[in-house]
Homo-oligomer: A and B are copies of this chain.
């Protein structure tokens, strides 16, 4: 799916790569959509666990940035997004996952901003968490198609803010 797109993730190929015969896929999954949902669900659980661990570290904002800079994860996410756009079951699953991710990330950002004395009304944690996560993902998505213009400057800008926030503590910053 990551390498050749969701359309290439067929029951035959999956079976072959798993070293079994095609019909066996339908013993475990009623339909291919059920399989996709299960892949998403399992991957999501692993991702969420890794995320929870990372976001309790020293520098949660930087962790957030690094976690969302995973090119391989980002490629898979693009496939699921495309799939979700026209398959109800996958859309529902992806929505649920995205919301859990946002909740976890937002909680971590809330703690981080608060301990650094930043006004949470002026910088709503949920917005800051979106900002960091989505920009990291955007860079990955662009890298996947070979675009690199502005990435260095963007990374530098983010790093500058992350440094500023990592250093700050109980001192209001803008």
A5 CB within 8 Å of chain B? yes
Find chain B residues with CB under 8 A from A150 CB: 102, 106, 124, 126-127, 129-130
Contact of A134 among B78, B83, B98, B134 (CB under 8 A): B134
Find chain B residues with CB under 8 A from A126 CB: 149-150, 153-154
Total chain A interface residues with beta-carbon distance under 8 A = 48
Q: Are A127 and B157 in contact (CB under 8 A)?
A: yes
A165 CB within 8 Å of chain B? no
A171 CB within 8 Å of chain B? no
Find chain B residues with CB under 8 A from A170 CB: none
- A116-151: which have CB < 8 Å to B? 123-124, 126-127, 129-131, 134-135, 137-138, 141-142, 144-147, 149-150
A7 CB within 8 Å of chain B? yes
A75 to B75, CA, bound (A): 16
Contact of A145 among B75, B98, B131, B153 (CB under 8 A): B98
